[in-house]
Amino acid sequence: MIKLGDIATFVNGYAFKPNEWDTKGFPIIRIQNLNNLNQTFNYYSGDIDEKYLVTKGDILISWSASIGVFEWDREDSVLNQHIFKVNFDKIKMNITYFKFMVSIALKRAMQYMHGSTMKHITKGYFDAIEIPVPSLEIQQKIATILDKAQSLIDKRKEQIEACDELVKSLFYEMFGDPGTNPMKWPEGTIRDIVSEVKYGTSKPAVEGGKYKYLRMNNITYNGFLDVSNLKYIDIPDKEIEKCIVRNGDVLFNRTNSKELVGKTCVFDLDEPMVIAGYIIRVRMNEKALPEYLSAILNSKYGKETLYGMCKAIVGQANINAQELQDIRVFIPPIELQKKYVKFTKQVDKFKFEMEQSLKELENNFNSLMQRAFKGELF
């Protein structure tokens, strides 16, 4: 085991001030640019020490707030603070092996993170973290195995994303663009296709509550129900029907940031749950299926419409039940909607199988990583 500080030199990025940002020059790599490839850049056009320059192939380690190891694969840029650039100037290392081993070591180190508003690892603690350093030949063998395992995970994720894209493309093929209605379907508002619209409860969650409690984080931006992190709540029997959701209800997140307000999904579980006050429960009438309404609100048209309804609001945005029902939609024949839903359920079944396979691949990868760290692979 060798300390990271004895393997390489870790250069912290430059503390750029907002008044130094520009619209041209070198992109400034911030933590959000590492975690999200679609995140926009700020730029810097002044003079800067070349130690802060980042080129393709450089290894970067974010050590504050979001901790991780990354290989830069974009244009020449400059490095912001809270990110280390790795200079391999002390020991010869296989770069891929190094990335994997440091990733494990950082996960183990997270329990020692400090900071009240931003979690971070101190430089002294970071330099003292140890990783196994076998011969370069063994490093290469381990890197090859782990790289292949990671590649299988990446491919499975691509297949899962392809399922979602397939459903989206089918919607446009069957119904056309919701924003322009090229197929000339009858038009109306959401009010015309719903039978009931109710708010959730404002009561707080409690330990050991009787009912599972859905909050706004249980609806994903892409339109799926996520029950991986649930709270519980007690509701008096006389109030339960006002805020309980059942299979087939549409859930609409009415309060959030303006980018996230309007998250929508279909509740497709058989176990009834209770919704929080920031969620609206929508029940459909005979003119439309819940999956159709969810698809409309999760389409490009739906996202842009919802964003436009609250773009002038600072802080938390809100779309109330009346405003939701005023949104214009086209209303295709119910039989066509049924064909669409039948297809989506077939895709969902395949997607579920892919997700189960992904879990197995990730478990296998994590096992390989632990064995590699302990020196048990070779």
DSSP string covering 98-125: HHHHHHHHHHHHGGG-B-SSS-B--HHH
Do residues 252 and 324 touch, judged by C-beta distance below 8 A? yes
Kindly report, residue by residue over 267-282, the tens digit of the pLDDT. 999 999 999 999 999 9
At 142-186, the pLDDT tens digits run 999 999 999 999 999 999 999 999 999 999 999 999 999 999 999
Q: Residue range 200-222: average pLDDT?
A: 93
Specify the pLDDT at position 194: 97
313-336 average pLDDT score:
92
- State the Cα–Cα distance between residues 367 and 378, nearest whole angstrom: 14
Both tokens assigned to 89: 């100037």
Q: How far does the chain reach from its first CA to its final CA, in angstroms?
A: 15
pLDDT of 18-63, one tens digit each?
888 988 899 999 988 888 878 889 899 988 899 999 999 999 998 8
pLDDT (tens digit per residue) in 230-266: 999 999 989 999 999 999 999 999 999 888 999 999 9
Residue ranges of domains in the chain, CATH in brackets: 2-132 (3.90.220.20), 134-177+332-378 (1.10.287.1120), 186-330 (3.90.220.20)
- Band (pLDDT 50/70/90 cuts) for residue 335 is very high
Q: Is residue 117 pLDDT above 50, yes or no?
A: no
Confidence tier at 109 by pLDDT (50, 70, 90): confident
Q: Which among 100, 135, 133 has a CA at the least distance from the CA of 3?
A: 133
| 217-241 core/surface letters (b: 16 or more CB in 10 A; e: else) | bbbeeebbbeeeebbebebeeeeee
Q: Where does the pLDDT of residue 311 fall: very low under 50, low under 70, confident under 90, or very high at 90 and above? A: low
46: Cβ contacts below 8 Å, ≥ 6 apart: 20, 25
Which pLDDT band holds residue 118 (cuts at 50, 70, 90)?
very low
The pLDDT score that the predictor gives to residue 64 is 78
Residue (of 226, 275, 287, 228) closest to 249 by Cα position: 275
